[in-house]
Amino acid sequence: MSPARIINLIFGSVFLERMKPTQSKMRLIILAGLIVCAYAAPQRTVLPRLPISVILNGKYQLIPENKIVGGTEVTPNSLPFMISLQRKFLNTFTHSCGGTILSESTILTAAHCLDEVDPTLFRVIAGAHNLSVESDMEQIGRLDNYTMHPDFNPITLENDIALIYLTPRTILNISDTVQPIGLPPPTVDLDPPAGLMVTVAGWGTTSSGGDISDVLLSIDIPIVSDDDCNSAYAGDYNTNPVKESMMCAGGAPGGIDACQGDSGGPLFTSDAGSFTQHGIVSWGRGCALADYPGVYTQVSYFLDWINTEMMP
């Protein structure tokens, strides 16, 4: 079990249990030691790209927050497949993760955005550009349920993929500003070639630990080979952290990347107004650090699962 997971468990019991003074003191001493160990450990840990508001209220308590770093504002509603997954906190909904529209009732996102959450606390905003300004083009979908890949691993973030199902009364109306994204055909090689330029978009932070962006941003970044990505992230205890079901993009010289709040959003290509999703924002070391590419769930690896679980 990781130090972060252990500390999370202890935090929960420290504040929720009524303990004797001696027990409380001993537990806090152990907690202090674990915090020191966690921060002294080699900084090559898996960092889900979730906003700080989610991390502080959820299970990823010691992991810093993420957004599009070095990106530019997109033309409003030029990416009609984008959604903002928002969580209710103190009667206010705030951006939590990104996602993409697969159909009027199904949204594609990252599993770590939904791990052990109550779907009634979330909503989906489609057709949005500026999250701080309401628009007539926006549509609100409520979560009926969701399904995560059965082999999702919250420690390694393997199989970091999930589908959201909207309630029948709030399914999306497909329009010019709300449209599904395309998926790669089954004949496409699992690994897009290194050097291929792809786009990542989201409302995440523009720096590690920064504020969520009001407007939708995007950046173009190159695909990085699995070998080069594994070389960047390999550590003493895991020489192969980038699995077959993952892909990487970005890296040297740094300065451009997905970041906190971009989790669940798409890595995609476009051709004459047609969009194809290749990856899902998943994890990385910090945001936009030189020599550390962002790591994405590889959509083509999960086409059979998506087609089996997807609703019309």
DSSP 176-217: SSS-PPB---TTS-SSPPTT-EEEEEES-BSSTT-PBPSB-E
Whether 117 is covered by a domain: the verdict is yes
Q: Given the residues 96, 263, 282, 300, select the one marked as catalytic.
A: 263
Q: Does residue 245 form part of some domain?
A: no
Catalytic residue among 105, 160, 245, 257: 160
Structure tokens at 183: 């998926």
Question: Is pLDDT of 304 > 90?
Answer: yes
In a domain, 235, yes or no: no
Is residue 149 part of the annotated active site? The answer reads no
37 and 86 share one domain: no
Mean pLDDT of 121-147: 96
Q: Which amino acid is at 95?
A: H
Tell me, yes or no, whether 97 and 35 share the same domain. no
> Which tokens is 98 given?
């990104």
25 and 108, same structural domain?
A: no
Residue 301: closest CA among 189, 140, 145 = 189
Q: Are residues 94 and 176 in the same domain?
A: yes
Task: Decide if 258 is inside a domain.
Answer: no
For residue 110, the domain's CATH number is: 2.40.10.10
Helix (H, G, I), strand (E, B) or coil at 111: helix
Is 153 part of any domain? yes
Same domain, 173 and 103: yes
- Pairing type for strands 106-109 and 92-101 reads antiparallel
Q: Tell whether the model's pLDDT for residue 59 goes beyond 80.
A: no
Tokens of 255: 């300065």
- pTM of model > 0.75: yes
Whether residue 108 is predicted with pLDDT greater than 80 in this model: the reply is: yes
Burial of residue 109 (number of CB atoms within 10 Å: 0-12, 13-18, 19+): buried
Asked if 86 and 160 sit in the same domain, the reply is: yes
Would 176 be classed as within a structural domain?
Answer: yes
Residue 212 pLDDT > 60: yes
Range of the domain at 12: 3-41
**Ranked by mean pLDDT, which of 22-26, 37-41, 162-166, 279-283 comes out on top?**
162-166
Q: Assess if residue 149 is contained within a domain.
A: yes
Type of residue numbered 4: A
Q: Which of 86-90, 154-158, 189-193, 219-223 has the lowest mean pLDDT?
A: 189-193
Residues 9 and 95 in one domain: no
Q: How many domains does the chain have?
A: 2
Mean pLDDT of 271-279: 94
% residues pLDDT > 70 (the chain): 69
Question: What pLDDT was estimated at residue 291?
Answer: 75
- Do 30 and 98 fall into the same domain? no
**Catalytic: which of 95, 105, 112, 208?**
112
Is 160 an annotated catalytic residue?
yes
- Indicate the average pLDDT of the chain: 78
Would residue 237 count as lying in a domain? no
Residue 112 annotated among the catalytic residues of the structure: yes
